[in-house]
Amino acid sequence: MENPIITALQTRRSIRKYKPEQITDEELKTVLEAGTWAPTGMGYQDPWIIAIQDPALMERISRMNREIWGRDIDPFYGAPTYVLVFGSDPKKWANSVYDGALVLGNMMNAAHAIGLGSCWINREREMFSSEEGKALMKELGLPEGLVGIGALALGYPASFPQTVKPRKENYYRIIK
């Protein structure tokens, strides 16, 4: 079935090399707004979305992530914007991680739809459960008790992957 939304979902790729130019405020707001329209359990709108473009803060976040990852490369691949997603402690709101994942997915698809690249970045749960991470969350004005769900590297792609892994056999099944 031909459909521009389906085509966008099929052509989005994780981008791991970005141009240094900062994205526009309009582009950033478009991506962030798309995140707010993700479905959430019972319409609770639990996730918290924070966009970071301050170079000193970005370096701090990148360093924290590298230390957990154990690799000395930029885990955000040189992106000019980071987007962090937080949610309630899953012990207090069981849908927290799922809701945050949907927010991140919406933002990745919106970024692709407007010509931006993105890549999901892991290790936010570990980063923000540390003392340094908790202090940073306080600096960011977030309420206590949140957990890191994930992050996005966001920017203009410097390259775009051309190869696509074929979808595995029996990925889905229809039972009638």
pLDDT in tens, 11-52: 999 999 999 999 999 999 999 999 999 999 999 999 999 999
pLDDT at res. 1: 86
Q: What is the CATH number of the domain that holds 92?
A: 3.40.109.10
Asked whether residue 12 is domain-assigned, the answer is no
pLDDT at res. 162: 82
| Whole-prediction pTM | 0.95
What is the spatial distance between Cα 36 and Cα 139, in angstroms, rounded to a whole number?
Answer: 22
Range of the domain at 27: 18-155
pLDDT in tens, 131-166: 999 999 999 999 999 999 999 999 999 998 888 889
Asked whether residue 102 is domain-assigned, the answer is yes
Asked whether residue 13 is domain-assigned, the answer is no
